[in-house]
Structure formats: C-alpha cells, structure tokens
Amino acid sequence: MGTASVQADKVVNVRMSESEHTLLKAYCASLNRSMQDVLRDFALMQIQKQRFCCRLVRSLMDEHGIEQDPRVGKPCFGYSCYYCRHAEACTAGETDLLYVPRQEIRELVAEESSYIFDFDGSSIEPPNQAG
C-alpha cells in the first residue's frame, strides 16, 4: 500500500452502481489516491487476511510469488493504514506498533470514536465503558 501507483500489466474492470462509483471516487479523492490503487489495496488486504487460516490462499500466494504483507497479523491492518502515523515503517515490517492516527485527521473522526487519539501503538481497544 505505498503511495506510488503499481506498474501492472493486467487490468480488472469492476462494475458498480452510479452511487457506488461516486462514493468510491470521492473516497479516493479524499485520500489523494487513484481508484485503481485503492481497489487493489483493499482486494489484496482481504486476500492477505485470509492467508492465516486458509491453505488454499497460502498455496495460491506461494504459487504466484505473492509475499505475505508484514502488517497482516495486526488487528489494525486495513483502511486505517491510510491514516496511520507509522504506515511506511509498518508496510516495510520495521515496527510492531499498532494504529496511531495522524493528528490531521482529527476533524474527520466521529465524536464517539475520538478515543483513537489516545492510542499509543500498544492497543487499538476502545476504553472500557463503565456501566
């Protein structure tokens, strides 16, 4: 999930409704990334996540020379990587830290989820709710 486009020799067309396309386009624009890159990232993330429990996916990844993403064992692996302070180091397998949001996304985060700005990289668990 780097910031540069991946040079690829295959193209996949994805059919979606007009509203889904508009949503995807706006989402990708908010990330300053192409729809192609975001769809590729999300598809590979989901396949990578399945690798830990599925012999078929392991076999297919091995057969096609797809290396395991170093982030795959982390519970935060997914869309949050786009907003994480240490995304590059994590992608390179250089840190064991979990998700720590970049401060510049503070205005985008829903009030009930603002606790994420207390994350220090050791956990992504919400605080206990006393009831």
pLDDT of residue 130: 43
pLDDT of residue 128: 78
Q: Is 81 exposed, middle or buried (CB count within 10 Å of its CB: 0-12, 13-18, 19+)?
A: buried
Contact 98, 121 (CB under 8 A): yes
Backbone phi, then psi, for 101, in 5-degree steps?
Answer: -70, 145
pLDDT of residue 3: 47
Share of the chain above pLDDT 70, in %: 92
Q: Mean pLDDT, to the nearest integer, of 89-107?
A: 97
The predicted-structure confidence for 26-37, as pLDDT tens digits, reads as follows: 999 999 999 999
User: DSSP secondary-structure letter at 101?
Assistant: B
The predicted-structure confidence for 102-126, as pLDDT tens digits, reads as follows: 999 999 999 999 999 999 999 999 9
Q: Which residues are CB-neighbours of 55 under 8 A, at least 6 positions away?
A: none
Mean pLDDT of the chain: 92
pLDDT of residue 9: 84
